[in-house]
Amino acid sequence: MNSPEPVQAELATFLALVLFMVISLGLGVVANMVGRVKTGFLKSYFLGNRSLGAFAVALTAAVMSGGTFMGFPSLVYKFGWVVGLWICSYMVIPVTVLGVLGKRIGQLARRTGAITLPDFFRERFESPLLGLITSLLVLFFLTSNLIAQFKAGGLILKLVLPQSVHQVIGTNEPPKSADEKIGAMAAASSDEPVAKPVETKKSTANTFRDRAYVLGLVIFSVTVIFYTAYGGFLAAIWTDVFQSLVMAVGVMILFPLAMNAAGGINAGTLAGIAQTGDDSFAFGPGASRNFHPISLALSFFVMWAISAMGQPSTIVRLMAFRDTKTLRWSIIYLTLYNLVIYVPLIFIFICARQILPNLTRTDEVMPRLVITLANPYVAGLILAAPFGAVMSTVSGWLLIISSGLVRDLYQRFVNPHASEKQIERASYMGTVFVGVLVCILALNPPEYLQLIVVFSSSGMAASFLAPAAYGAFWRRANGLGMIASMVTGAGVTLALYAVGMVWASDGYDSGIGAGGLFAPYYLLGYDPCVWGISLSFLAGAVVTLLTPAPREEHVERMFGLDTPLPGLAKA
Amino acid sequence: MTTTQQPGAPEDPVYKNGLKDARFGMIFWAIATFFVCGCAYFLGYQRPGQKLTSADIQPIFGIPKWFFISVVVPWVVCSVVCVVYAGFIMTDDDLGRDHTDELEQEIREGADIHELS
């Protein structure tokens, strides 16, 4: 496959990455200027002054991550049509993720004055301990994820660094062909479990002794830390919107090209059946493997449409949207976005079977197809989109962590009397501090990190969804119940993943799902997210009912008509 | 202004409408989940008593028939429902005054009255 196209696309991808970084830096500077106009530094810096517009909410709340954008095509190519069923709960996501809790979280965030997720739970349930546990869980999940994302960013940059740079810094690696680089880039940016073992093997080779990786990591870190620290929440949101739009444009360009090149979708289906030798390429549960039994199909409706409601990044966006009109429009935009992006993506990568037959490393199907079909510069831009997604994910998470440090640690414990100026300085420094720390850890990430990374989105949903839902709608819910709910949710999910991975390392394969070293234990055939979320709701309800009811006055403040805080009526 | 609402006081409209949205969202999710998974299982899954071969693809616009009925059609229908719900049925509510400054003041004054629960 060493055609001339990869070489041209390599240069174009490098240019597109540089373009992405420059645009992000620019957005950071603009966001800083916009943020300065407003009053109240923390609210402006960490929540965009609660004034996010519909487009920003829609395109950042529940859109596929860069990793999924790379990993999903690989699954379609490998297992066939059933992967459409795997992703199709995106059809209801706008209403579940934005509609179910949106209004009430938006209202409660204003009513409690909460700026961070721990703030929100602490004030809603009058429980500092709940706030503390939220902080610790967020720190645990997001820091590990951040390290992994920084590593992905560093690896991608390393791969696209021009050969002259490699010579200057004196790397001892033999130069990779453009073709090899594309494969490695796909593996680096994919976050699908199937792709993980590939990445893990690679990770052992990428330690702090690898100068090109260190250089890539430093360039990535400096860029992201700078625009995030300087521009705050708005910078993170805007870069996210930008990369979502690039992905959308990419899909719309690819769709007609793929249909045309394959000679129709059915040609792709028949090619898939011929190549896998399995009629199930066109049906459930998938070609060559019991990939998606019906229990997992049900699980993935929970996995995408329900789990997404409990992610900290989602809840924070629900605390930040401008008004209910914005919320309604964001549901409409997200519905249309999902319809025109995900449905064609399925068709495109079924067609890929006809265009690029018999790929052995299926996680390369996305970059290879792009390079085969599109003009090199368009291809470069599409290939850079997942890198943009890594950047925007990182900046969003960095801010969630640093907001916790500034609000829940510095302001509440260290210096409650901090002036606006001191808080401002602490916020910039907090973001830079977290970024630098993660960068240092990413120089040589510990192996067990992968465990936390693969189970973290299920784990976060199982921790935070039930307290958020009870907080929004159940008057009787109390702090102790919510502590039980969080601990149970996180614990159950972690246990199921840990058991699955220990067994997988002994060579056990449940036969369902994508398989691999990081497969969880599917109790009764259902994904751990189903168990984690259900048991978290159950534990929350049981412990709440066994412990004293919350203060009636506080409940009224959360559920009744709006009133000022006690003793602050004059303010 | 009093600091408490008496029981039986008028219900907060945001709570009431928020609950309506939540009910709608969850019922909508449940219907979609069971319709899509049910249809897919009966029309498009290899299972005991149903051995599907390439003759069963019966493509509609190139898409296998089972997939068209179980995924594509529901996706379009769901999208229409989402747009209609958000555009015409979901109400606009006043989310109320932002108490951020009051919480800041509370923290600043060290007036945090909550005890570790």
* pLDDT, tens only, A276-306: 999 999 998 988 888 889 998 999 899 889 9
Instruction: Tell me how far CA of residue A36 lies from CA of A49, A87, A424, A427, in angstroms.
Output: 10, 40, 11, 14
Residues 390-419 of A with CB under 8 A from B: 411-412, 416-418
- B20: part of which helix (H) or strand (E)? helix B13-44
Q: What is the pLDDT of residues A98-129, one digit of tens each?
A: 999 999 999 999 999 999 999 999 999 999 99
Band of pLDDT at residue A72, cut at 50, 70 and 90:
confident
Query: Over 50: is that where the pLDDT of A391 sits?
Result: yes
Give a yes or no: residue A298 inside a domain: yes
pLDDT at A203: 45
Question: How many Cα atoms occupy the beta-carbon half-sphere of B101 within 13 Å?
Answer: 9
Instruction: For chains A and B, count residue pairs whose Cβ atoms are closer than 8 Å.
Output: 284
What residues in B contact A269, CB-CB < 8 Å? 57, 59, 62, 64
Average pLDDT over residues A352-365: 88
Is B22 close to A99, i.e. CB distance below 8 A? yes
* CA–CA distance, A411 with A424 (Å, rounded to integer): 11
Is A294 close to B26, i.e. CB distance below 8 A? no
Is A564 close to B99, i.e. CB distance below 8 A? yes
Residues 13-72 of B with CB under 8 A from A: 14-15, 17-19, 21-22, 24-26, 28-29, 32-33, 36-37, 40-41, 44-46, 52-54, 56-57, 59, 61-64, 66-67, 70-72
Looking at the DSSP assignment, which residues form a beta bridge with residue A267? none
Average pLDDT over residues A467-479: 96
Cis peptide before A285 (omega within 30 of 0): yes
Its ipTM equals 0.88
For chain A, what is the mean pLDDT? 85
Give a yes or no: residue A569 inside a domain: no
Average pLDDT over residues A242-249: 84
Other CB atoms within 10 Å distance of the CB of residue A205: 10
What residues in A contact B48, CB-CB < 8 Å? none
**3-class secondary structure, B95:** coil
Instruction: Look at A225-239, A340-354, A384-398 and tell me which has the smallest mean pLDDT.
Output: A384-398
* CA–CA distance, A438 with A453 (Å, rounded to integer): 14
Give a yes or no: residue A567 inside a domain: no
pLDDT at A111: 93
Helices A324-355/A54-61 angle, 10° precision: 40
Is B98 close to A336, i.e. CB distance below 8 A? no
- Angle (CA) A552-A556-A562 rounded to 5° is 155
What residues in B contact A99, CB-CB < 8 Å? 21-22, 24-25, 85-86, 90
* CA–CA distance, A436 with A32 (Å, rounded to integer): 20
Helices A376-403/A365-373 angle, 10° precision: 140
Q: Give yes or no for B89 touching A (CB within 8 A).
A: no
For residues A170 and A6, which has the higher predicted lDDT (pLDDT)?
A170
Query: Using the 8-state DSSP alphabet, how is residue A264 labeled?
Result: S
Q: Total structural domains in chain A? A: 1
Closest CA of chain A from B45, distance in Å = 4
pLDDT at A270: 94
- Minimum CA–CA partner of B117 in chain A: A127
Cβ atoms of A489 and A466 within 8 Å: the answer is yes
Q: Give yes or no for A526 touching B (CB within 8 A).
A: no
Is A324 close to B29, i.e. CB distance below 8 A? no
Closest CA of chain A from B12, distance in Å = 5
DSSP string, A117-179: HHHHHHHHHT-HHHHHHHHHHHHHHHHHHHHHHHHHHHHHHHHHS-HHHHHHHT--SPPPPHH
Residues 451-510 of A with CB under 8 A from B: 469, 472-473, 478-480, 483
pLDDT at A261: 94
* CA–CA distance, A389 with A70 (Å, rounded to integer): 11
End-to-end C-alpha distance for chain B, whole angstroms: 29
Cβ atoms of A150 and A219 within 8 Å: the answer is no
Percent of chain A with pLDDT over 90: 43
Query: Over 70: is that where the pLDDT of A67 sits?
Result: no
Q: Give yes or no for A344 touching B (CB within 8 A).
A: no
**3-class secondary structure, B60:** strand
Other CB atoms within 10 Å distance of the CB of residue A497: 23
Q: Give yes or no for B8 touching A (CB within 8 A).
A: no
Give a yes or no: residue A568 inside a domain: no
pTM attached to this predicted model: 0.88
Q: Which of A329, A473, A552 sits opposite B22 (nearest CB)?
A: A473
Query: Over 50: is that where the pLDDT of A472 sits?
Result: yes
Helix ranges restricted to H, A319-446? 324-355, 365-373, 376-403, 420-442
Residue A284 lies in domain: 4-559
Query: Over 90: is that where the pLDDT of A458 sits?
Result: no
Cβ atoms of A95 and B82 within 8 Å: the answer is yes
Candidates A520, A518, A532, A457; CA nearest to A490 is A532
Q: What is the pLDDT of residues A179-201, one digit of tens each?
A: 666 667 666 666 544 333 334 44
The values of phi and psi at residue A125, to 5°, are -105, 10
Cβ atoms of A383 and A185 within 8 Å: the answer is yes
* CA–CA distance, A486 with A480 (Å, rounded to integer): 10
Q: Which of B42, B73, B75, B113 is most worth mutating to test chain A (most A CB atoms within 10 A of its CB)?
A: B75
CATH number of the domain that A484 lies in?
1.20.1730.10
* CA–CA distance, A440 with A510 (Å, rounded to integer): 37
Q: Which of B2, B14, B35 is most worth mutating to test chain A (most A CB atoms within 10 A of its CB)?
A: B14
Show pLDDT as tens, one digit a residue, over chain B (117 residues): 334 445 555 679 999 999 999 999 999 999 999 999 999 999 999 998 889 988 999 999 999 999 999 999 999 999 999 999 999 999 999 998 898 888 888 887 764 444 443
Band of pLDDT at residue A269, cut at 50, 70 and 90:
very high
Average pLDDT over residues A451-471: 89
